[in-house]
Amino acid sequence: MQYINKHYFCFSVLITVLSCQSPSLAQSMTARIEDAQRLIAVNQDFKLHAQQFHTEANTRINEAKKLSTEAAQLKARTEILKDQGKLKGALGQYNADIGAFKEHAGQYAEHLAMFQQQIGECHSDEQQYQLNLEQYIIHCNQFHLPNIQPPHICGTLEVTQEESAQLAHQLYSDRSRMVQAESNLNNAEQKLQNALFQEAGLKTKALSNNRRENEEQSLVSEFARLGSEYKSLEAERQFLAGANTTTEAVHAKLRK
């Protein structure tokens, strides 16, 4: 800031000197300074937006990586339904994972909305940079041609424009990394959705097999109960048969 103030103080002194010699030249120098100040302010605003986008882009990229890992983990959970020997246990796991699937879907939808918003802001910032660059070129052509009185370039404006160019390159790099991370996340989500679609059929089969297993278990229990009742009845029959034999023997002795 001190450099900028010093820079424009020198301009003010120069304008004061030139105004005594040529009012039109002094007016041109004033216009040059005002235009440079405006462009510096615009570039500073672009710099602020670019730095904010860089921070937010890293946040979105980290979120995309986290959601990709989570989607892969959820997809791995669906694999147990493909093991025909674990259908009953897989059904319980599936029901337990329903909440996790819904929560993940909500987080992905929220992330996607933020990504689309920031991509729109990124395009807006890139358009703003191109407009700033065009205005910088116009400023140089209007005020800094060789046949115009010195200074032939605004030092502070040149530095600010160079910073904006570097940030514009960083903006493009951040956008590319965001798009790549989002592409990887989209692939992971597609695989998860395909796995869930396949799982729907397996779930139906699991329910059918689970119902059959329950019915078979119920039949086994029923057969066991009937077997136990049969043994009890057989023991009772044998007891009654023995009692009848004893009664008949007693009656026979009495008749004699």
Taking only the tens place, the pLDDT of each residue in 209-222 is 666 677 667 766 76
**Is 11 a residue whose pLDDT tops 90?**
no
Domain that holds residue 180: 2-206
Domains in the chain, number: 1
Secondary structure in 3-state letters for the chain? CHHHHHHHHHHHHHHHHHHHHCHHHHHHHHHHHHHHHHHHHHHHHHHHHHHHHHHHHHHHHHHHHHHHHHHHHHHHHHHHHHCHHHHHHHHHHHHHHHHHHHHHHHHHHHHHHHHHHHHHHHHHHHHHHHHHHHHHHHHHHHHCCCCCCCCCCCHHHHHHHHHHHHHHHHHHHHHHHHHHHHHHHHHHHHHHHHHHHHHHHHHHHHHHHHHHHHHHHHHHHHHHHHHHHHHHHHHHHHHHHHHHHHHHHHHHHHHC
Residue 16 lies in a domain: yes
- In this prediction, residue 138 carries a pLDDT of 86
**Is 113 a residue whose pLDDT tops 70?**
yes
Residue 215 lies in a domain: no
Cβ atoms of 104 and 220 closer than 8 Å:
no
Residue 241 lies in a domain: no
**Is 146 a residue whose pLDDT tops 70?**
no
- In this prediction, residue 217 carries a pLDDT of 74
Cβ atoms of 203 and 97 closer than 8 Å:
no
Cβ atoms of 129 and 13 closer than 8 Å:
no
pLDDT band at 141 (very low <50, low <70, confident <90, very high): confident
Verdict on whether the full-model pTM lies above 0.85:
no
Give the residue-averaged pLDDT of 71-99.
Answer: 67
- Range in 61-65, 233-237, 250-254 the model is least confident about: 250-254
The domain that contains 44 carries what CATH number? 1.20.58
- Range in 29-38, 82-91, 176-185, 210-219 the model is least confident about: 82-91
**Is 58 a residue whose pLDDT tops 60?**
yes
- In this prediction, residue 29 carries a pLDDT of 76
Residue 165 lies in a domain: yes
Question: Which residues, in sequence order, are CB contacts of 146 under 8 Å at separation 6+?
Answer: 152
Cβ atoms of 118 and 178 closer than 8 Å:
yes
- In this prediction, residue 81 carries a pLDDT of 59
Residue 98 lies in a domain: yes
Q: Which two tokens stand for residue 164?
A: 């904006």
- CB atoms inside a 10 Å sphere around CB 70: 18
**Is 181 a residue whose pLDDT tops 90?**
yes
Alpha carbon distances (Å) from 252 to 43, 96, 177, 256: 128, 75, 108, 7
Give the residue-averaged pLDDT of 14-39.
Answer: 65
Share of the chain above pLDDT 90, in %: 14
pLDDT band at 15 (very low <50, low <70, confident <90, very high): very low
Residue 20 lies in a domain: yes
Residue 220 lies in a domain: no
Tens of pLDDT, residue by residue over 37-57, are: 899 998 988 888 888 899 999
Residue 238 lies in a domain: no
